[in-house]
Amino acid sequence: MGMAGAVDKHAGAPVAAASKRGRRRWHWLWKLPLLLALLSVVQVLALRFVDPPFSAFMAIRQFEALRAGDTGFRVAYDWRDLEDIAPSLPLAAVAAEDQNFARHRGFDLEAIERALEHNARGGRVRGGSTISQQLAKNLFLWSGRSWVRKGLEAWYTLLLEALWPKQRILEVYVNVAEFGDGIYGAQAAARSYWGKDAAALTAGESARLAAVLPSPRRYSAHQPGPWVQRRAQWIQRNMRNLGGEAWLRQLE
């Protein structure tokens, strides 16, 4: 009996060791979400002070071109500080996409409710995303409708609103928003379409750029069709209703 007991004791040692190693692995898996959350906080905080060299959407578009064999394709992107962009463009973006931008904390529940009611009636689908949500998606994520992507978008939106001032959110947004296929930001759009710097954009040009934001690869700001023209006129009315460029001063 003594020898049998000794054998059983030694036979159980490898099992116990394996169980301990398994617990250690699960211990690290439990910490992984916390580590990723911490990295995202550091990422967002750093970009409050460092201008992004590219966005996730830019990287994805460049990869799509390479995968299609278009080796000559290059993303057009040229950062400009907010003071070097015509005030009419950020104002037009707010007038077109998020008129409650100055008041909400990342999510506009009223806009979401209106969008749901509109979409339930059929016709052209309308979104309820704020500028903060759109920036979170464009800068860090990918397009799509999965719950994972929407969850990450909500998380990054909360971080942007908590760690950045509104003025910085708007500045980065007008620099990374897509205004045409492969054309990102105010300066690239102004140079590509009108051969001028972003500081020289007129109110009409800014309104047309904002008008194509829902689908910049489908609509053209440079050669606007009837829908873009009507939307641009509506945006200019909203710009005046907001109080014109003086509205931007409340973000300072």
User: What's phi and psi for 76, nearest 5 deg?
Assistant: -95, 115
pLDDT of residue 252: 82
Burial of 222 (0-12, 13-18, 19+ CB in 10 A): middle
Q: What integer pLDDT is reported at residue 25 of this predicted model?
A: 63
Is residue 159 one of the residues assigned to a domain? yes
A 10 A CB-CB count for 168 gives 16
Residue ranges for the chain with pLDDT beneath 70: 1-28, 111-127
Answer whether residue 10 is part of any domain: no
What is the number of domains present in the chain? 1
Instruction: Look at residue 42 and tell me if it is in a domain.
Output: no
Q: What is the pLDDT of residue 231?
A: 98
* Predicted local confidence at residue 3, as pLDDT: 47
Does the residue 13 lie in any domain?
A: no
Give the pLDDT confidence score for residue 110 in this predicted structure: 76
Range of the domain at 158: 51-251
Q: Is residue 4 part of a domain?
A: no
Q: Classify residue 138: in a domain, yes or no.
A: yes
Res 237: pLDDT: 98
Report the distance separating Cα 136 and Cα 133, nearest Å.
5
72 lies in a domain?
yes
Assigned domain for 46 exists = no
- Confidence (pLDDT) at 22: 54
CATH of the domain at 222: 1.10.3810.10
